[in-house]
Structures are given as C-alpha cells and as structure tokens.
Amino acid sequence: DTGVSQNPRHKITKRGQNVTFRCDPISEHNRLYWYRQTLGQGPEFLTYFQNEAQLEKSRLLSDRFSAERPKGSFSTLEIQRTEQGDSAMYLCASSLHSGSYGYTFGSGTRLTVV
Amino acid sequence: AQTVTQSQPEMSVQEAETVTLSCTYDTSESDYYLFWYKQPPSRQMILVIRQEAYKQQNATENRFSVNFQKAAKSFSLKISDSQLGDAAMYFCAYEGSNYQLIWGAGTKLIIKP
C-alpha cells in the first residue's frame, strides 16, 4: 500500500474555470476526509465520507464545491467557477473507522487561481 | 464549538536539546482525541503522537512525549534530543464526537545546528 495519493500535485487555473481533484485513500480505510489549508494556517475541515456516504459537510463549502466517493473507493472534489479565494492546499486524509488511530494524509493538491 | 490554540507561532532549539510546544483547547465534551501532526516544508502531514482523553497516562513515542492536563485543557508536546529532521510546522488537533479534526494555527520549529 502506497498511502494516500492525491492528484494533481499542483493546479493553476484561471478564475471562473472548473477544477477537479482526486484522492485515492488507503484501501482498507472506510473514512475519507477533505481539508483546505491556506498559507500559514492549520487545515480547515471541508467534508467527509464513510464508505460512499457523505456524512458531514462544512458551512465553508459553498455550492460551488462538490465531493463524491463512488463505491466507497477514491474521491473527487470539484470546484466550479473558481475564485481567487479558492487558492489553497487541498488535503485528503483517510482513516479506519474513527480517527482515533490517527489519519493518514496525502501530499495535497495546491490550487492557484489566477 | 471546539477551538484549539497554539500560542507560539515559532520556536527554536539547539540540536540535541529539548523543546516543548504548547497547545490548549476548549471543549465541553469529555471523550475525545488529541493529536500532534508534523508538516515538513512542501511535504505531507505526518502523525507524531495521539492521546485519548480517557487515558490519564501521557502518550510517548520515542523522543516525543505529551503532557496532557485534561482539567486545564492543555496538551503540550515535548521533543527530546532534537534533530535537524524535526524542523517542521507542528499542528495540534482535536477530534470530538463529530469525527472532524479541529486544528491549531501551528508552531514553526527551527532546529539550530
């Protein structure tokens, strides 16, 4: 198992364009989380899945953001009509059941909106 | 709502010495988990140590140990025999009943050779 994989590592997009990120969690982990981290700050929770069900979604997540986890495997995070304020590192993490054993993070996708 | 506060934006320590990073949190829950994560520059978040709130014994992982004071809602990280590879951002995080991690703003640790 190679850990949590995120693609792409970097994405530069023009304001108004749509972008999609992918996360492949550790195969036996049934929980998958998305966080957003801006420079110099701690991550902020966006959403999480247990298997294919999206159980929680932050108020930070506007209608332009959508996440899916088909079949409880990989997950995608889509941002529509990107804005400069969306520029951040998007982190994916997975865990087995609850996070009490800790979360395994991917390397993140750095989004720059120009 | 739960909050996590790291009051030290930056700390520096001489190689081989000991440093303590502070973290306080606020919660009304009695059962929760606390974590310290390390984030080296341009690299992924790595779990350093975790603590279950119902355990009185402080967690230790090799050179890393915590001082967990539940009543004071304090969760500090002690790094002994600091090494150059310990240089990173360190984040304190809280997980409560909603399974979301609440993070502090981080402490940048500088190791002086």
Return the pLDDT at B1.
Answer: 82
Q: Mind telling me how many Å the CA of B67 is from chain A's nearest CA? A: 18
Over the stretch B58-77, which tens digit does the pLDDT of each residue have? 999 999 999 999 999 999 99
| CA nearest neighbour of A3 among A109, A110, A106 | A106
Query: Nearest Cβ partner of B101 from A41, A45, A108?
Result: A45
Record: contact A100-B47, CB cut-off 8 A: no
Asked if pLDDT for residue A98 goes beyond 70, the answer is no
Searching chain B, which residue's CA lies closest to the CA of residue A89? B42
The residue with greater pLDDT, B70 or A39, is: B70
Q: Mind telling me how many Å the CA of B45 is from chain A's nearest CA? A: 6
Q: Find residue A75's DSSP bridge partners.
A: A23
Report the share of chain A in percent with pLDDT over 70. 96
Return the pLDDT at A1.
Answer: 53
Interface test with B, best of A105, A107, A109, A110 (most B CBs within 10 A): A105
Judge contact between A94 and A32, C-beta under 8 A.
yes
Sequence-separated (6 or more) residues with CB below 8 Å from residue A53: none
Searching chain A, which residue's CA lies closest to the CA of residue B98? A56
Section B26-39 average pLDDT: 94
**Tell me, what DSSP letter sits at residue A29?**
-
Judge contact between B72 and B79, C-beta under 8 A.
no
Judge contact between B71 and B85, C-beta under 8 A.
no
Q: How confident is the model at residue B13 (pLDDT cuts 50, 70, 90)?
A: very high
Contacts of A9 in chain B (CB under 8 A): none
Judge contact between A110 and A10, C-beta under 8 A.
yes
Window 59-78 of B: residues touching A by CB (8 A cutoff) are none
Asked if pLDDT for residue A99 goes beyond 70, the answer is no
Question: What are residue A71's phi and psi, to 5 degrees?
Answer: 60, 15
Searching chain B, which residue's CA lies closest to the CA of residue A57? B100
Return the pLDDT at B61.
Answer: 94
The residue with greater pLDDT, A77 or A71, is: A77
| CA nearest neighbour of B62 among B34, B86, B91, B95 | B86
Residue type, A72: G
